[in-house]
Amino acid sequence: MPLRAFGLNCTLKAGPAPSSTQKLLDQVLRALGKHGVETSHARIADFDVKPGVKADEGDGDQWPELRRQVMDAQILVLATPIWMGQPSSLAKRVLERMDAFLGEIDKQGRYPTFGRVAVAAVVGNEDGAHHVCAELYQALTDVGFTIPGGSPPYWVGEAMGSTNYIDLERTPKKVADTIRTIASNAAHLAGLLQSRPYPAP
């Protein structure tokens, strides 16, 4: 079976508004596709994701639909813009909803997310990319995802500038190199974890 990757775009803009976060997410997913990975994505802003830490918060909550797509994939790409040096509020909501995975650890000590790989992708026109990546990766590993080696792909523009990632005519070489490396490592790691899953503790 081919590997699958699911991208969650945590931009504050609902689709189809132009989004720098979507541009970077698309680039990561295309790079994964070059390794035979099937890809799909969704914008959190297009869904009614209720606040909370349960798998299903009821009353029209659309997180369960997104959660199924996360769990049907072997690779999660969590993409967020930077706002005030922080992940977007929607990215934080996604992480809060993933807290429910901790209540699903089986009697053998296995998380439902074991064997799944997570990659962060961060974009903004202000500082804070390393801080945001650290927040995302710490939370994702806490709920059972495995992080591939290599720097997460990110781009930040000039401090207090007006140029956004989506405005760039060409992708900077360092960003392109990082995307290529993380996609290769994520696909490799996901394949290994499928063939040799984590043992029960």
pLDDT at 19: 97
Domain annotation covers residue 184: yes
Distances from the Cα of 17 to the Cα of 115, 136, 142, angstroms:
34, 24, 32
Q: Looking at the domain assignment, is residue 200 inside a domain?
A: no
pLDDT digits (tens, 9 = 90+) for 37-93: 999 999 999 999 999 999 999 999 999 999 999 999 999 999 999 999 999 999 999
**What's the domain range around 133?**
4-195
Domain-embedded: residue 36? yes
Where b means 16+ CB within 10 Å and e means fewer, 101-128 reads: beeebeeeebbbbbbbbbbbbbbbbbeb
Whether the ω angle into residue 16 lies within 30 degrees of 0, i.e. cis, is yes
For the stretch 146-189, pLDDT in tens is: 999 999 999 999 887 889 999 999 999 999 999 999 999 999 99
Q: Tell me: pLDDT of 196 over 90.
A: yes
Looking at the domain assignment, is residue 162 inside a domain? yes
Residue 96 inside a domain? The answer is yes
Tell me the pLDDT band of 17, cut-offs 50, 70 and 90.
Answer: very high
Give first-to-last CA distance, the chain, whole Å: 27
pTM: 0.97
Tokens for 137? Answer: 């990766």
Q: CATH number, domain at 45? A: 3.40.50.360
In-domain check, residue 104: yes
Domain count within the chain: 1
On whether residue 120 sits in a domain, the answer given is yes
**From its phi and psi, is residue 157 left (phi > 0), alpha (psi between -120 and 50) or beta?**
beta
